[in-house]
Structure 1
Amino acid sequence: MYFDRGNFYDFTSLVRELDVPGEIYERKTYAFEFSTVEMPYETYNGVNVRLRYVLKVTINRGYAGSIIEYQDFVVRNYSPPPEINNSIKMEVGIEDCLHIEFEYNKSKYHLKDVIIGKIYFLLVRIKIKNMDLEIRRRESTGSGTNTHVETETLAKFELMDGAPVRGESIPIRLFLSPYELTPTHRNINNKFSVKYFLNLVLVDEEDRRYFKQQEITMYRLEEEAS
């Protein structure tokens, strides 16, 4: 936890003793196996938190300090496609000025998915200059008054350049594969969460910004299903 003075917390730990106390005079190789290790969380490297899996080798010496070596390894957890994946549809706007209806084809996306949708203008009485769709990642660490939140804009996709008219429909087709995304993480070991949002941004000719944010769920698709 970077914000927590770099403190780290173990969420799982298994130990194997590879040799009895004694002396080593030559090169030796030790076989080892961890056959029942639970690795419920993915490796994650964020702004304020890093989740690591490591192999740690310790040689305890009576006459001097211990020799300790670390080797990181990466864990990826795959998920099947969700049985229920509802579309997102919502009507938003400013009274008597702007009303739009937006629709995204799903609420849950795998990391290499494509976001398909549309924006439909029901009422336009302000001069819109452009419209963008952003992918935002929100990382929350800690809890209570010690909660730290970092929001990153990972992608910005221009949907429209110019003034729309009433009845106009703008298609959305955004490929996710070019971006460095991770699965959604919810309250991992009571330490952190990572959420993703689609942020629709409209800018008028006076550079006023209007936006609507909608949470989506990200998951890593099973390899055999990809």
Structure 2
Amino acid sequence: MNKLFGGLGIGHSCSVQLEFRRSGGGGVPTAAVKSTRSASRRDETEDLPVYRSKDTVEGEVKITPIPGKRVDHAGIRVQLVGEIELASERGYPHEFLSLVRDLAPPGDLPSQQAYSFSFDNVEMQHDSYLGLKVRLRYLLRVTVARGLGQSTVKDFPFWVRNHSPAPPRGEPIKMEVGIEDCLHIEFEYDSPAFHLDDVVIGRIFFLLVRVKIKHMELEIKRRESVGAGAAARSESDTVAKYEIMDGAPARGEVIPIRLFLAPYDLSPSVDSVHNRFSVKYFLNLVLVDEEDRRYFKQQEITLYRAEEGAGDGAAKGGAARLPRGLVAALPEAPPPNPVAAA
């Protein structure tokens, strides 16, 4: 059984505790996630019960009056809520899921009372998400209804993680970047789609090098778009930054890319969730020359959560730093085509 969550509400005459349970016995799996309670605590983590869509969410609620007090109430209920909250609409979340179970009719609480509840086969199609400007969360809200604004309301969050079938593998990504008569490189990634424990495999070909390159790095960037149409606003952050080369390359050199995704805080790519927000990911290849000029090329990728054991490149450990460059014999390079500096 999971640890009891809850406490005494300030100014209220009873405390509320909730325990997540499984009908077959035992506890609900938990995961350490960034704090969902306030923006100021997002560097902290908390252990939350984890569910998937179509799971049954059940447990027990305990209501305990303050010793020596008898609590009259107008009913006790528990509500399963799914909501999306935007930073621009703080305090006014969009509720897309609401299920209610009445636990007790109007009456009084002379002593501690326990109530079991169950929400069967709940459709929770969206993953929980905590981003820069938006959060999608699920919670159980227990209400001890009383008059004159004295109701006790307590929220108990939980996390939802759904698995997706692997999208079609698709053709490898092949692109080029450069400056006319100065730099011409081609790079490729083996696939445009990766699961969250996957490994990004790729390589970079230097076809023309007349610029003194200092180093090269690969970034994973997340773009969060909030709103729709003309009102849409986007914000990007760098989730990971990994140096793949240090020093000046030679013409004909090949640099391998092997980037493990498991150590990073990633979520599946989503598009227009209830017309409220989208999340996209990009691989950003960055070259820096000795004058600190930056050349980059960005490519969108699709991330998804695979069933455990379903990914054939899953990696649980961190990505070790790779040695610089692998020199390989390339076929004779065609004359470089002028390309614009990114």
Give the whole-Å Cα distance in 2 for the aligned partners of 1:6 and 1:163.
Answer: 52
Residue 217 (structure 2) aligned to one of 114, 132, 135: 132
Superimposed CA distance per residue, residues 62-102 of structure 1 (whole angstroms, 9 cap, x where no aligned partner): 46521111100011111232243432111232222221110
Corresponding position: 1:215 with 2:215:
no
With over 3 angstroms needed to count, the CA separation of the structure-2 counterparts of 1:96 and 1:66, relative to structure 1, is: same
What number of residue pairs does the alignment pair up?
226
Q: Distance in 2 between matches of 1:95 and 1:79?
A: 43
CA distance in 1, matches of 2:106, 2:149: 15
Q: 1:71 aligns with which of 156, 160, 184?
A: 156
The alignment status of 1:3 with 2:84, answered yes or no, reads: no
Q: CA deviation at 1:6?
A: 4.0
Question: What residue in structure 1 maps to residue 207 of structure 2?
Answer: 122
SS in 2 for 1:58: strand
3-state SS of 1:217 partner:
strand
Residue 21 of structure 1 and its aligned partner are, at CA, apart by: 2.3
Matched, 1:49 2:107: no
Corresponding letter in the other structure for 2:169 = I
SS of the equivalent of 2:94 reads: coil
Q: Are 2:77 and 1:17 aligned?
A: no
The alpha-carbon deviation at position 185 of structure 1 amounts to 1.8
- Whether 1:152 aligns to 2:237 is yes
Partner of 2:267: 182
- Whichever residue aligns with residue 197 of structure 2, its letter is K
- 2:174 is matched with 89
1:166 corresponds to which of 251, 255, 261: 251
> What one-letter code is carried by the residue in structure 2 that aligns with 1:86?
E
User: AA paired with 1:143?
Assistant: A
Q: Structure 2: how far apart are the matches of 1:178 and 1:107? A: 20
**Secondary structure class of the residue paired with 1:3:** helix
Give the Cα separation in 2 of the matches to 1:52 and 1:33: 19
The root-mean-square deviation of aligned C-alpha atoms, in Å, is: 1.7
How far is the alpha carbon of 1:145 from its aligned partner? 4.4
2:125 pairs with 1:40? yes
Consecutive unaligned residues in structure 2, runs of 5 or more: 1-85, 312-342
Q: Which has the higher Rg, Structure 1 or Structure 2?
A: 2
Task: Give 1:113's aligned residue.
Answer: 198
User: Residue type of the partner of 2:101?
Assistant: R
The letter for the 1-side match of 2:150 is: G
Match of 1:28 among 91, 107, 113: 113
Give the AA of the match of 1:112: D
Q: 2:57 aligns to what?
A: none
> What is the identity, as a one-letter code, of the residue corresponding to 2:307?
E
1:102-156: CA deviations, max 9, x gaps? Answer: 0111111111111111000112222222111111111111234443322111211
Give the letter for the 1:135 counterpart: I
Give the superposition deviation at 1:168: 1.0
Distance of aligned partners of 1:193 and 1:27 in 2 relative to their CA distance in 1, 3 Å threshold: same
1:196 corresponds to 2:286? no
Moved more, 111-120 or 146-155: 146-155
Contact 2:169-2:191 at 8 Å conserved across structures: no
Structure 1 CA distance for aligned equivalents of residues 90 and 141 of structure 2: 22
State the identity %. 59
Helix, strand or coil: the match of 2:87?
coil
Residue 290 (structure 2) pairs with residue 205 (structure 1): yes
Equivalent residue letter for 2:251:
R
Task: Quote the Cα distance in structure 2 between the aligned partners of 1:120 and 1:6.
Answer: 51
CA positional deviation for 1:220:
1.1
- Give ranges in structure 1 of 5+ residues lacking alignment: none
